[in-house]
Structure 1
């Protein structure tokens, strides 16, 4: 299609629009996969850059902080951009910003500069914020409103697919399998130690060059494809919405809280997964990465299974059930021994799978004019991924590098999500 054609406007109220907008939906689904790749490569980067840049646990979690702090700082600008330029332009800008951050990995590795890596990750986070602010509500409203939660879960299933693919790519092209203790590093000559650090850092360059190139190519495709623009229509005409006014919806406020703790829990689980598999399960680095891929597989299966189950069970009940099981599995991760700890973490992936899209869909349900600002609030809540892992890393360092005790933080998060699934989701507008 010619990109200069005026975009078709849909209201988000057409139950028969599913087949008509299949191609736009497929294109948006690709974005879910791409930002899934970015987030799940972070789970590889944390233990990898911990080695390459000689970091402690708390310092290594600044990788998460850089990405997810961007969500908090960029959510309002992203919402303003979405309101002014619409979904298509926002998604293209998000892709190009994302690509810029990916390409910055090259100078970061060449200089062996952890600060430059963090800047690159922050820029990636800014791009992801713009993408998610636009793509989540776009996927939810692009078709029959009654199937919004199922549609969002289906799109998010491909985000889950990335959770399986990224660890394989990371284990093949980023992780070296080499690991030295502090005493072994101290015994090396300065030249050998510097060579080891540079070699470890250099392995990230090619994967991120490829990722950045793919992002630019997809941005070009989006530019030339005519995507329908979504406009929410109210009784008085086109909806305006209000950023702070959106919080009058009690269930949106609870969704923002639940999303904060969900993202924090997910990032905590994956960020320390490899270290947990090494310390708790006794696996080497590459084997631990393969188990992280199994976690991703279970996460993906959970997304598709959850999408199917939503045809038979209400979304809030499924969310509460999965949160309850995640609490139980977290207890096994904290108090269990050996490989069972790793198996419990892998199973958590399955039960976390539907949480983000389900919380998102429940949060914007029935808020009409406030859908776009409500989406911005839910994206801002992703800052939980910046704060809670840092707290987990601090807790681990304070307890003599005991990874297991750190998983008490995801445990608390799942309890809060359980409350949202039981009561917090209920719609009750505050005047």
Structure 2
């Protein structure tokens, strides 16, 4: 069924025919690129969290556990807004939901300014929460939308290509933090030790104001992106098959999906993967600072930049390998190597651990997109796509849990190196998932317009 002529907002049209399943007969290049450009936007926000954790820990005199609240507030916003995002997509469109998400992202970024004036940790967490609700709408839409913008057989490769843009934003975010927030000279903790009273308070307030600078640039980028999405038309990418199940409400859809054991297993694995990614990046700067006290925050942030570059290279290599090798076999190989790398870090607790953490970032490469599209392929009814995508995105709550777990272990053991032991579990879960579905493949049912879904 060709729904190209249905009413859409925007002046720049897309080329291609929408299929009954929600996929397209070919990929509309401009629209695919614009959706892919959303990925670095949340990559930049997430990488700035790694900077904020380091900055807030010192300024507010926090433990490793308490400093990880930055990630908890951020990913709690993701978790809470994911299902409402799916409802909004179902009632409107992917494009409309993305625009609303960009507006919330803009509001959250703007809240950093009164948070800085108030100079309280809690206010910053509120700003991060609001910002993350917008990102939840964007990512819930973009992950599934990217997979749908073309033929069904290319969904995993398409999402992996879009995810390749993510580290570009991550690198941009960490560079903004490095040069606009961090300073030269002694690290912040050393500088604060030599101060007291009102001088120390004034110094801390000045350091907090520096956190505003990256968000000024992000606000400009968000305004530009909102305007672009308003003037470009996008496919609706909604299945046109009418069944009894297509009339289900959100609650009924969620219950139906939770009865799908394969889908739930995929969600759990995504929870483990996101926890791995967020936690490793959150503590890479802290790892470098604890293993080499002569480093300052600006110099230590270089290792996070190297981590994002490794992540980008690892993903590009994975994309290339997936052209000829089944994607689950690629994921299994990366996961086993990651497990071995973490085990080595626990044995060799020297500064080599920082370089191992960079290697680990490269081995995360194919994780999110591969687990996401594999899990999406387990659903039996194409009308469940939006809600299924939202439920998978909800698993980024792993990014709230695992940094807390790693921070707690670091405080307990007094060793940042030993705290990375938690990722024997996360890499192990990914390896088991990959191995299981290589041995016991589940036929993709999302495309099956002719299957009986009544």
What range is the shorter-chain TM-score in?
over 0.9
Instruction: Name structure 2 gaps, 5 residues minimum.
Output: 1-7, 446-452
Give CA-to-partner distance per residue, 1:113-162, whole Å, 9 cap, x none.
11111001001110111001111010001101111100000000001222
Corresponding position: 1:417 with 2:430: yes
* Mapped partners of 1:234, 1:168: distance in 2: 47
Q: Name the counterpart of 2:331.
A: 319
- Relative distance call for 1:56 and 1:284 in structure 2 (3 A) is same
Pick aligned residue for 1:290 from 276, 295, 302: 302
Give CA-to-partner distance per residue, 1:172-196, whole Å, 9 cap, x none.
11112443558x7465231211122
Secondary structure of 1:176's partner? coil
* Mapped partners of 1:392, 1:424: distance in 2: 29
Corresponding position: 1:249 with 2:257: no
Bigger mean CA deviation after superposition, 319-328 or 47-56: 47-56
Corresponding position: 1:299 with 2:308: no
Give CA-to-partner distance per residue, 1:280-323, whole Å, 9 cap, x none.
25543222111110111111111222111110111111111111
Q: Name the counterpart of 1:266.
A: 277
- Relative distance call for 1:319 and 1:233 in structure 2 (3 A) is farther
Residue pair 1:319, 1:355 contacting (<8 A) in 2 also:
yes
* Mapped partners of 2:225, 2:23: distance in 1: 28
* Mapped partners of 2:79, 2:362: distance in 1: 27
Q: Name the counterpart of 1:386.
A: 400
Pick aligned residue for 2:18 from 10, 35, 43: 10
Pick aligned residue for 1:408 from 418, 421, 433: 421
Q: Name the counterpart of 1:66.
A: 73
Bigger mean CA deviation after superposition, 371-380 or 5-14: 5-14
Q: Name the counterpart of 2:163.
A: 156
Counterpart mapping for 1:104-115 below 5 A: 104-115=111-122
* Mapped partners of 1:13, 1:213: distance in 2: 33
Secondary structure of 2:150's partner? coil
- Relative distance call for 1:281 and 1:312 in structure 2 (3 A) is farther
Residue pair 1:249, 1:429 contacting (<8 A) in 2 also:
no
Cα distance, 1:15 vs. partner? 6.3
So what's the TM-score if we normalise by structure 1? 0.93
Instruction: Name structure 1 gaps, 5 residues minimum.
Output: none
Residue pair 1:150, 1:310 contacting (<8 A) in 2 also:
yes
* Mapped partners of 1:248, 1:97: distance in 2: 33
Residue pair 2:103, 2:134 contacting (<8 A) in 1 also:
yes
Secondary structure of 2:92's partner? helix
Give CA-to-partner distance per residue, 1:29-52, whole Å, 9 cap, x none.
110110111111111111011122
CA RMSD of aligned residues (A): 2.4
Cα distance, 1:239 vs. partner? 4.2
Q: Name the counterpart of 2:3.
A: none
Cα distance, 1:237 vs. partner? 9.1
* Mapped partners of 1:231, 1:26: distance in 2: 20
Q: Name the counterpart of 1:398.
A: 412
Q: Name the counterpart of 1:344.
A: 356
Cα distance, 1:212 vs. partner? 1.7
Q: How many residues align?
A: 427
Q: Name the counterpart of 2:286.
A: 275
Secondary structure of 1:17's partner? coil
Residue pair 1:240, 1:370 contacting (<8 A) in 2 also:
no
Cα distance, 1:247 vs. partner? 2.7
Give CA-to-partner distance per residue, 1:241-261, whole Å, 9 cap, x none.
622212333321111000101
Secondary structure of 1:10's partner? coil
* Mapped partners of 2:413, 2:148: distance in 1: 46
Pick aligned residue for 1:335 from 344, 347, 356: 347
Cα distance, 1:384 vs. partner? 0.7
* Mapped partners of 1:180, 1:224: distance in 2: 45
Residue pair 1:264, 1:413 contacting (<8 A) in 2 also:
yes
Secondary structure of 1:324's partner? helix
* Mapped partners of 1:383, 1:27: distance in 2: 26
Secondary structure of 1:234's partner? coil
